[in-house]
Structure 1
Amino acid sequence: MKLPVMPPVAPMLAKAVQTIPPGASYEPKWDGFRSVIFRDGDDVEFGSRNERPMTRYFPELVEAVRRELPERCVVDGEIVIATDTGLDFEALQQRIHPAVSRVTMLSEATPASLIAFDLLALGDDDLTGRPFRERRAALERALADAAPPIHLTPATDDLAEAQRWFVEFEGAGLDGVIAKPWDITYQQDKRVMFKIKHTRTADCVLAGFRWHKTSTDANPLIGSFLLGLYDDSGDLHHVGVVGAFTAARRAELVHELEPLRLRDGESHPWERWSEAQAHTGQRLPGAVSRWNATKDLSFVPLRPERVLEVKYEHMEGTRFRHLAHFVRWRDDRTPASCTYEQLEQPVDFRLDDIVPGLGTRA
């Protein structure tokens, strides 16, 4: 492979802001795996956010890149899995698997799509030093005839349209809007774009915790809280974690949570978490991490008696898509009142109405 921009490339990043800024190019914020794609003839490589190759996990996209992208190019984009009900990040995570046979099977069962949103190189030309306005125009020309599963992300310079996208597109699994100043060059690992994401709060049951990775017997430290919500049947589901605490607060929490630890003979809604069959029909903590098979995901169960308010961005199915953030204790709320009914439900929106053909196969 010999391109004017060579791997690895650290993708350009966005800083979080509260409102959509005026005077920029606006795009949907896709919820998938960020990837920089390099093609030099038949040689194709998919780089990731951490600059590690992901090529082997998406053989169907390798073939699509050879078929649909210019013969020599470097494209920045997002790998997603599109379904009739929106983006499926959980299915996308399943694609990262060490077994070739499973990767092959999943490439057929849950095929991925590539959403392109920047062009770093074309032919012998390095475009990273050019303003985004020129790169976007070149990307539109380069992908003018591209067919699924390769797609060009929608873009607009209309602020009102971007605000509408922010509200409506969440119903298809997107998690906000990206704003790109027209004059920015491509700056690796720099937060020169802007991201505007949804923020909501929910009252959750504290059902357990994990020890911090630096915790010792001599200096115990809480790592993260395990959060629960009740469904209509009264089952407590694991919906996410809270873990952003200072070292001093982690030490204090050890003593605060001690009265909630189970006594001999007491049961817990998640006591069967280590049994694979127990995860059917109820989301429990403790499944093996597909990113790090050696990571200890065991937890200390607590009597589900205390409620905390957390801030979250959006739901993926029955869980918080990203790490939640602690807001405050809610001692005025009962655990039984912490149900899914409190959560705001975005309006349903079809991916095909955002990008025609997304989710279909060539």
Structure 2
Amino acid sequence: MELPLNPPVEPMLAKSVARIPTGEQMTYEPKWDGFRCIVFRDGDEVELASRGGKMMTRYFPEVVEQARRQLPERCAVDGELVVIRRDGPDGQPRLDFELLAQRIHPAASRVRLLAESTPADFVAFDLLAIDDEVLLDRPYPQRRARLEAALAGVRPPVHVTPVTTDVDTARRWFDIFEGAGLDGLIAKPADLPYEPGKRLMFKVKHARTADVVVAGFRWHKSGPVVGSLLLGLYDQSGTLHHVGVCASFTMARRAELLEELGPYRDVGDEHPWAHGDHERGQRIPGGVSRWTGGKNLEWEPLRPELVLEVGYDAMEGDRFRHTAQFVRWRPDRDPRSCGYDQLERPVRFDVDQVLRGDPVPTTEPT
């Protein structure tokens, strides 16, 4: 591969902000919930590069083929790999990060099977190089114009992300696109060059809180202190489901937590996750799996009597999409009151409409 810009190249990153930033000619685009990917193409040679210099080329043969068919002959395009689920319970196409994560598999036969059953789309949002020209020093509006010209003829499963400079439209996107599985907004200042590895863009994500039951914990890898708290929510039938973890603590706080959890470690055989109710589709914590790279996920049960308020950004099905944040203990709450019904569910929205850049509706979709 002999491009003017060759891998590895670290993608430019975004720093989190609490509110949608404003500024003259600020550009906004949806924040896609997938794998960040810079596609390098030099004729028939294609590489899919992730953050940290990791190559994902072997896992997405269908994306490689689409890059050969639809991207310029010699280019480096920054974007996102996503998987769209079209057979969900509500019939609404939406992004599915779990299906995307399953695409990373060591077996070649499994990779081929998943490429056919859950193919990935590529959403382009920046052009870093084309032919013999490197565009990193160009301001973002110029790179965007070059991207639109270079990819004017692409068709699904290759897309160019929609953008807007209207902050009211951006706010509307933030409110409704979550229902299509998107993650928030990205904001780019008008004069922004592309600086690999630096956090010069802005990202705004949804922030919420929920009261959850603490029903177990995992040990920290460094020694006998708490590594993470295992969180649960009750469904309408009274079944407690594992919905995620809370794990960001100082070492001193991890030791304190072990003392605080001590009175609840005498569990016996009555723990709601002792065996798992498969007929009700109960989610319980797991052990070692191929998805965790051999990481030991064995856990210690706790009597499900502690209630914790946590911060979270989004749900992935019936669990927290990312690690939850510790807010405060809630001794005033009855654990049985910690159900799914307290969660804010985004209004359903069709991800295909987002990818097509359809006009934003002025009323809530149903």
Superposed pair shares fold, TM > 0.5: yes
Which residue in 2 is equivalent to 1:172? 180
Query: For 1:141, which of 127, 142, 149 is the aligned residue?
Result: 149
Structure 1 residue 129: Cα displacement: 1.1
| Identity across the alignment (%) | 62
Find out whether 1:55 has 2:50 as its counterpart. no
Structure 1 counterpart of 2:331: 331
Deviation readout 1:221-253 (Å, 9 max, x if unpaired): 101000000111111111111011111111111
Q: Does 1:246 align with 2:250?
A: yes
Q: Residue 53 of structure 2 aligns to a residue in which SS?
A: coil
Give a deviation string over 1:188-222, Cα, whole Å, max 9, x none: 1100000000000000000100011101xxxx210
SS in structure 2 at match of 1:6: coil
1:29 has 2:31 as partner: yes
Larger mean Cα displacement after TM superposition, 253-262 or 206-215: 253-262
Does the CA contact (< 8 Å) of 2:162 and 2:357 recur in 1?
no
Query: Is the 8 Å Cα contact of residues 148 and 357 (structure 1) preserved in structure 2?
Result: no
SS in 2 for 1:355: helix
Kept in 2: contact 1:94–1:290 (CA 8 A):
no
Q: Which deviations, in whole Å up to 9, do the C-alpha atoms of 1:262-313 show, x marking residues without a partner?
A: 34x432111236xxx9598122111544444310001001110110000000
The residue aligned with 2:296 is 296
1:184 maps to 2:192: yes
Return the TM-score normalized by structure 1.
0.94
Amino acid aligned to 1:50: G
* TM-score normalised by the chain length of structure 2: 0.93
Which deviates further from its counterpart, 147-156 or 279-288?
279-288
The verdict on how the C-alpha distance between 1:126 and 1:280 changes in structure 2, with shifts beyond 3 A counting, is farther
The 1:287/1:94 distance shift into structure 2, 3 A limit, reads farther
Question: CA 1:357 to 1:179, structure 2 compared with 1: closer, same or farther past 3 Å?
Answer: closer
1:1-362 to structure 2, matched below 5 A, reads 1-23=1-23, 24-84=26-86, 85=92, 86-215=94-223, 220-263=224-267, 265-272=268-275, 278=278, 281-356=281-356
2:132 partner amino acid: D
Q: Is the 8 A contact 1:180 1:194 kept in 2?
A: yes
Counterpart of 2:261 in structure 1: which amino acid? L
The root-mean-square deviation of aligned C-alpha atoms, in Å, is 1.6
The structure-2 alpha-carbon separation of the partners of 1:280 and 1:46, relative to structure 1 and needing over 3 Å to count, comes to: farther
Distance 1:117 1:356 in 2: 14
| Number of equivalenced pairs | 350
Please name the residue that 2:362 is paired with: none
Q: Distance in 2 between matches of 1:246 and 1:141?
A: 49
Distance 2:76 2:293 in 1: 32
The residue type paired with residue 36 of structure 2 is R
SS at match of 2:66: helix
Deviation at residue 29 of structure 1 after TM alignment = 0.3
Offset, 1:353: 1.2
CA distance in 1, matches of 2:232, 2:130: 49
Q: Secondary structure at the match of 2:52?
A: coil
Change (3 A) 1:280 1:62: farther
Q: How many angstroms apart in 2 are the aligned matches of 1:291 and 1:280?
A: 24
- Give the unaligned 5+ runs of structure 2: 87-91, 359-366
Give the direction of change, closer, same or farther, for the CA distance of 1:2–1:279 in structure 2 (3 Å limit): farther
Structure 1 outlier segments of 4+, above 4 Å: 277-280
Q: What does residue 364 of structure 2 align with?
A: none
Q: Distance in 2 between matches of 1:256 and 1:137?
A: 57
**Contact preservation (8 Å) 1:96, 1:290:** no
Rounded Cα–Cα distance in structure 1 between residues aligned with 2:300 and 2:143:
51
Q: 1-side partners of 2:34 and 2:290: how far apart?
A: 16
| Distance (whole Å) between structure 2 residues aligned to residue 280 and residue 3 of structure 1 | 54
**Displacement after TM superposition at 1:356 (Å):** 2.6
SS state of the match for residue 223, structure 1? strand
C-alpha change, 1:256 and 1:92, in structure 2 (3 Å) is same
What do residues 42-86 of structure 1 show as CA deviations (whole Å, max 9, x unaligned)? 000001122200001111111000001001000110000012331
Q: Which amino acid aligns with 2:117?
A: A
Instruction: Say which SS state the counterpart of residue 41 (structure 2) adopts.
Output: strand
